[in-house]
Amino acid sequence: MGAVLIREFAVDDRAAVDALLAEAFSGPQPDGSPAASPPIEVVLNTALLDSVEFLPQLALVAEVDGAVAGYCITTRGWVGDEPALGLGPIGVDPAVQGRGIGSALVRETLRLAAEHGERVVALLGAPAYYGRFGFVPGTDLGIDAPEPAWGAYFQAVRLGDGAGPAGAFRYAAPFDEL
């Protein structure tokens, strides 16, 4: 595998990102049921890219040998009435998973978010994976999940000086349409 280049998503990447997300999320769901076709992550990503909450500087592509190998989007969200960020979907080509591409995307996302003065990033994901980046259950930070049943899978991290809002988290509008 060649060097990994992380860069901003470009409009020309759309087809490659759709294909990547479709491949990355085509397996069975955690409950064993088959994935939708196309997977919900593809549908969600399309809606996010077309939404007012889209933040171009926080949509990233990982390239390996000139090909899209990973992708991550972070959009405007809110904690109460305070601005925050919602991370996801994030996906890596199954052929190169386990080689640090997803980690590189998350690290760069957090670096850029902090650089832009953002204070909170939230996501729904595996605690064992995202904990390495400083994510903790949202409730540990006083941030409530949109769905209480998500429990410890709804996670957040504070950026900068560690101060930030508390309250109910709300994702970008396309998440409500799932």
Q: What's 78's domain CATH number?
A: 3.40.630.30
* Residues spanned by the domain of 28: 4-176
The torsion angles phi and psi of 68, rounded to 5 degrees, stand at -70, 120
Mean pLDDT of 164-171: 96
Give pTM, 2 decimals: 0.93
3-state secondary structure of 157: strand
pLDDT of amino acid 30: 67
Average pLDDT taken over every residue of the chain = 94
pLDDT of amino acid 20: 97
Reported confidence tier of residue 55, pLDDT bands at 50, 70, 90 = very high
Model confidence pLDDT, tens digit, residues 79-134:
999 999 999 999 999 999 999 999 999 999 999 999 999 999 999 999 999 999 99
Q: For the chain, what is the domain count?
A: 1
12, pLDDT greater than 90 = yes
34, pLDDT greater than 80 = no
Tokens of 133: 């980046």
Q: How many CA atoms lie within 13 A of 145 on its CB side?
A: 17
37, pLDDT greater than 90 = no
